[in-house]
Structure 1
Amino acid sequence: MKNSKAFPYLEACTLLEGSDEAGRRAFLDECDLRHFGDRSPVLTQGEPTDTLYLIVKGRIEVTYLDSEGNQSILHFAGSGEVVGEVEALSKLPCAASCWALPGTTVLAGSGELLVRHLLAPPLLASLAAILHDRLERGNRLKAADQFYSVDQRICIYLSHFLAVDTGEIGISQAYLAGAVGCARQTVNRKLGELREAGILDVNRGRIRLLDRGALERCCGLEA
C-alpha cells in the first residue's frame, strides 16, 4: 500500500502544509518506510545527513552533547513531526543526535525529494513554521530558567517533555531534577503534590499526565 494511503493524516503535518495534494502524496509515496523495534540512532550530532525523518508513530529523542561530555535531552518528537530536514537541505552537520525509541515508525526521504515534490513558497513557509515552533520551545525554557520558581520550572519541564499522543512524560525523575537545577527530593515532593491533585499518575518511575490544563496552570501559563 502506498504511504499516502496508509498514513493519510501525514498530509496535514506542518512540513507538508500548503503544498498541493499531488506533491504531498508523491513525496510521501517515495519515502522509505522504516520501523525500529529497539532504541536506534537515526541522526548523529556533528555528522552530515542526506536524510530527513517524518514520524508516522512513536517518538524520536533529540539530544545534544556539549564539549565537556554533558548530554541534554532537547525534545521528544512525535507523530507528524520531522527531524533532519534542516541538515538534509543545508548539507550542514547535524546540530543534535536523534534516537528512534522502540516501536517508532518513520518515513525517510531526502532533501532533494522534498524540494522536487513540494512547491517552493509553501515549503519555505512550512520550514519557517517548524523553526518557529523550536524557537518558542527554547525561549519558553530559557525564560523558565531565569524567571520562574522551582515548582513552576518542574511543571514547565514536565509539560515540555510530554508525549501528546500517549500522555507519558519520557524522562526520569533524576533527569528532571538535573534539567530544573534542583534536588531530586524537591522533584519527588512536587510530583507527590501533582499526583495528589489528580494532575499526574506516577507509578514505578513512569510519569503520565492526567490533566494538561491543570499542569499548564501550575506552570503559570494559560491552559
Structure 2
Amino acid sequence: MQPINEYLQQYGLADLFPAAVVDSMQIDRFATGHRLFSQGDTADMLYLLVEGKLKISMLSPEGKRLILAFKTPFDIVGDIEYVQKCPFINTVEAVTDLVLLRVPHKALDHEMSGNALFQQFLLETITRKFVTKAQELNFNLLYAVDVRVASYLLSMTPNKPRLDSPSLVDMADLIGTSYRHLNRVLQKFEQSGWIKRNNGKIDLLDRDALLDQAGHNIYE
C-alpha cells in the first residue's frame, strides 16, 4: 500500500493540502461488502477514495433504498457533510476492497479555512455530485427495469464474474422496482443465457449481452 504522500501525488493533490493536514490523515482499508457508514451517522471525517469501488445509496421517505451512484478513484466522500456540518446524507458501502485517506474535519477547519484553492476544489466536486444525483434519479424514472438490472449486475461485479448471495428484496429496492418485476427480469436474463442463478448466487455468463442491454453502464 502506498504512503499517503504518494497517493496525493498520484491524484494531483500534493499542493492542495498543507503539511499539518497531511500529517493528520490516516489510511483506511475496507473489505468488499463493508458498510462505511449509514445515512444519518455523525460526520466528522472527509474521505478521499484512492483505491477500489464503492456504492452510494439513499433512503427515500417511503423507506426504500435507492442507488445514487457507484464511485471509483479519484473521488471524495463526505464533502457535502463537511461544508454543511451535517450527518452523512447517504449510505456508503464497499463494492470491492477499498483504500481511503481519512481527513479529520478539525484539521481542515484549522488549516484550510479561507483557503481559496480548497474552496474551489470543494465547489467543483460538490457541483459534480449534484449533477450526478439528478441524472441518476431521472434514470430510475425514465429507464426500463431491464436496463437498470443489467447495469446493477455489471456495476456490482467489476472484477469478478459472480454476485455473491444477493438479496433480491434489497436489489429491487436499490434499483427502484418490485421484487416480482425484478425476478421476472432475472428469469428472462437466465433464459437468454446471460446469467445463471445457483444456490443464491448470480453468475454473469455473458457480460457483453448485459452491456448491450444496459446501453451504457449508467450507475458508473
Specify whether residues 221 and 167 from structure 1 end up closer, same or farther in structure 2 by C-alpha distance, changes over 3 A only: same
CA drift of 1:4 comes to: 0.9
1:64 aligns with 2:61: no
Q: Structure 2: which 5+ runs fail to align?
A: none
Q: TM-score, normalization: structure 2? A: 0.66
The 1:33–1:148 alpha-carbon spacing in structure 2 relative to 1, beyond 3 Å, is closer
Q: Which runs of 5+ in 1 are unaligned?
A: none
Is 1:125–2:126 an aligned residue pair? no
1:110 corresponds in structure 2 to: 104
CA RMSD of aligned residues (A): 4.2
2:37 corresponds to which residue?
43
Q: Distance in 1 between matches of 2:196 and 2:118?
A: 40
User: Residue 25 of structure 2 corresponds to which residue in structure 1?
Assistant: 31
Map of 2:188 onto structure 1:
189
Tell me, yes or no, if the aligned pair for 1:76 and 1:163 is still in contact at 8 Å. no
Q: Is the 8 A contact 1:2 1:29 kept in 2?
A: no
Deviation by residue 1:25-52 (Cα, 9 ceiling, x = unmatched): 7344531112235754433322332111
Task: Kindly indicate whether the alpha-carbon contact (under 8 Å) linking 1:57 and 1:79 is maintained by their aligned counterparts in 2.
Answer: yes
Residues 46, 94 of structure 1: 8 Å contact kept: yes
Distance in 2 between residues matched to 1:118 and 1:209, nearest whole Å = 51
One of 49, 52, 57 as aligned partner of 1:55: 49
The answer to which of 48-57 and 112-121 deviates more is 112-121
Find the counterpart in structure 2 of residue 205 from structure 1: 202
CA-CA distance at 1:63 after TM superposition: 3.3
Q: Secondary structure of the residue that 1:205 maps to in structure 2? A: strand
SS in 1 for 2:74: coil
Deviations, residues 92-151 of structure 1 (Å, cap 9, x unaligned): 122123344674222111234346259844333332332343334333333333333343
Indicate the percent of aligned positions where both proteins have the same amino acid: 18
Distance 1:42 1:183, change over 3 A: closer
Which residue in the other structure is 2:146 paired with?
151
SS at match of 1:22: coil
Alignment TM-score, normalising by the size of structure 1: 0.65
- Matches of 1:79 and 1:30, distance apart in 2: 21
Change (3 A) 1:8 1:145: closer
Match of 1:89 among 83, 92, 97: 83
Per-residue deviation, residues 1-40 of structure 1 (Å, max 9, x unmatched): 84113x256533xxx4xxxx43347344531112235754
Q: CA distance change for structure 1 residues 8 and 170 in 2, over 3 Å: closer, same or farther?
A: farther
- The residue type paired with residue 120 of structure 2 is A
d(CA) in 1 for partners of 2:33 and 2:156? Answer: 19
Following the alignment from structure 2 to structure 1, what is the Cα–Cα distance between the partners of residues 9 and 203? Answer: 29
Asked if the contact 2:153–2:163 (Cα under 8 Å) also holds between the matched residues in 1, the reply is no
- The structure-2 alpha-carbon separation of the partners of 1:106 and 1:152, relative to structure 1 and needing over 3 Å to count, comes to closer
* 1:83 shift after superposition: 1.1
Residue of structure 2 in register with 1:11 after alignment: 11
State the distance in 1 between where 2:35 and 2:24 align: 22
